[in-house]
Amino acid sequence: MSQNETTAAPERRSLRAKPFAKADRIFYRVSTIAANSSIVLVSLILIFLGIRAWPAFESQGIGFVFGSTWNTSVEPIVMQIGPMLWGSILLSILGVMLAVPMAISIAYFIVFMAGKKLGSSVSVLVDLLAALPSIVLGLWGLLVFSPVAADWAKMLHDALGFIPIFANSGDNFLRSPFIASWVVAVMIVPIIASITREIFSQLDRELISASLALGAGRWSTFRRVILPTAAGGIVGGVLLGLGRALGETVAIYFVLNLIFDINIFNILEPKGGSVASMIMSKFGEASTAEVSGLMAAGVVLFLVTLFVNMLASYIVAKAQPWRK
């Protein structure tokens, strides 16, 4: 054979192995079916919702998402969910902003500060909080928390009312996005905290040792070593929390006024929105045409959640070039 003939690269071969053992084959089969059926399920739900929602999208046009009026007593009826949609997003943002520092502090305490006993009892408590039914949280929010939070809101307004965010035109501090976002925060803190705890406890302790050995204090170790290393996982937890916040219905319904008038950022006004709560509040007495509108609202909420998830995984991937 001459040298020239060998220059063509040999044919590439697949490196994938197929399962041989019986247990492996069954396991592969089950995993594949499960994975595919989740896709099928999501598509079916979307299709079902889409068909029922189509008349509303058709009659309302783009105004359905961006308009601010919901009036079913006129002909033709007007259904626009702008304030509700923005309300859902606002509550989620505020809720996450309140929840993330709390959740991370709790996780840090459990993993790095508390001893075994204290740490595991705090964990159990936090997980219990996650298991709290949202109706219970809603009642607590309405009867116990709202009056207290209204006082906080008033203090905020008195001190910082000159900043538009903390403006309040009347003297009613109840049923505002401010209060609802605290309730949302209470709801998602345990989710984010238990995921962050898991991430922290799997962190390589040698990294912390290395950091301390270089003369780092606890805070700079946290900020420059622990947090960056755990960031991807924490974002995952935040996403789960965000999903819950966007879809939360009952608890928010108890503590927030749903008003079809856009309120961009006056978080202390008793005026807010939430797509999910709105759907629940209207579903009982809805006409056929209105039900179609509520379905359409559900579709929009679903798409927003999907978008947020995709955006977040993109951010995670961008922020962690070392994790390929």
Partner 1 sequence: MANLSAENVNVWFGQRHVLKDVNLVFPKNEVTALIGPSGCGKSTFIRTLNRMHELIPGAGLAGKVVLDGRDIYDAGVDPVEVRLRVGMVFQKPNPFPTMSIKENVLSGLKLSNRKTSDADGLVETALRRASIWNEVKDRLGDPAISLSGGQQQRLCIARSLAMEPEILLMDEPCSALDPGSTRRIEETILELSEDMTIVIVTHNMQQAQRVSSRTAFFLAEDGNPGQVVEFGSTEQVFNQPIDLRTNDYVNGHFG
Which residues here bind partner 1, judged by CB under 8 A?
115-116, 204-217, 220-221, 224-225, 228-229, 320-322
Between 84 and 226, CB nearer to partner 1: 226
Rounded Cα gap, residues 264 and 251, in angstroms = 21
Between 122 and 262, CB nearer to partner 1: 122
Residue whose tokens read 């579709």: 299
Whether omega before 190 lies within 30 degrees of 0, making that bond cis, reads: no
Between 151 and 204, CB nearer to partner 1: 204
* 311: exposed, middle or buried (Cβ count in 10 Å: 0-12, 13-18, 19+): exposed
Q: Which residue in 114, 269, 292, 293 sits closest to 180, CA to CA? A: 269
Q: How far is the CB of 217 from partner 1 (least distance, A)?
A: 6
Between 88 and 229, CB nearer to partner 1: 229
Answer positive or negative: Cα dihedral of 156, 157, 162, 164. positive
Q: How far is the CB of 207 from partner 1 (least distance, A)?
A: 6
Q: How far is the CB of 135 from partner 1 (least distance, A)?
A: 40
Between 225 and 296, CB nearer to partner 1: 225
Between 306 and 319, CB nearer to partner 1: 319
> Residue 321 corresponds to which tokens in the numbers above?
């070039």
Which residues, 6 or more positions from 271, have their beta carbon under 8 angstroms from its beta carbon? 176, 177, 257, 259, 261, 263
Rounded Cα gap, residues 213 and 211, in angstroms = 5
Between 79 and 208, CB nearer to partner 1: 208
The gap between the terminal CA atoms of the chain, to the nearest Å, is 42
Q: How far is the CB of 115 from partner 1 (least distance, A)?
A: 6
Q: How far is the CB of 210 from partner 1 (least distance, A)?
A: 5
Report CA 260 to chain centroid distance, whole Å: 23
3-state DSSP assignment of residue 71:
strand
3-state DSSP assignment of residue 12:
coil
Q: How far is the CB of 221 from partner 1 (least distance, A)?
A: 7
Query: Would you say 261 and 68 are in contact if contact means Cβ atoms under 8 Å apart?
Result: yes
Q: How far is the CB of 122 from partner 1 (least distance, A)?
A: 15
